[in-house]
Amino acid sequence: VITVTFVQGGEALNAIPSSVKFGGSIQSFSTEWLHHLRKRVKE
């Protein structure tokens, strides 16, 4: 399960920000699957 808990990306409503930050949590039933999910998120 991947849960996104925040997205932060600029102040203007009518402009695309130059960068965006997001964060959250990852939960898995196995360590192997957890490593796979972390790798995919970084991609």
Chain centroid, CA 33 distance in Å: 17
> Which pLDDT score, from 0 to 100, does residue 41 have?
82
* Structure confidence by residue, pLDDT tens digits, 17-31: 999 999 998 888 899
* Structure confidence by residue, pLDDT tens digits, 3-17: 999 999 998 889 999
Sign of the Cα torsion 32, 33, 37, 43 reads positive
> Which pLDDT score, from 0 to 100, does residue 6 have?
94
> Which pLDDT score, from 0 to 100, does residue 28 have?
86
**Considering all CA atoms of the chain, what is the largest pairwise distance in Å, rounded to the nearest integer?**
42
**How far apart (Å, rounded) are the C-alpha atoms in residues 30 and 22?**
24
Supply the DSSP symbol for 14. T
Q: In sequence order, what are the residues at sequence separation of 6 or more whose Cβ sits closer than 8 angstroms to the Cβ of residue 8?
A: 20, 21, 22
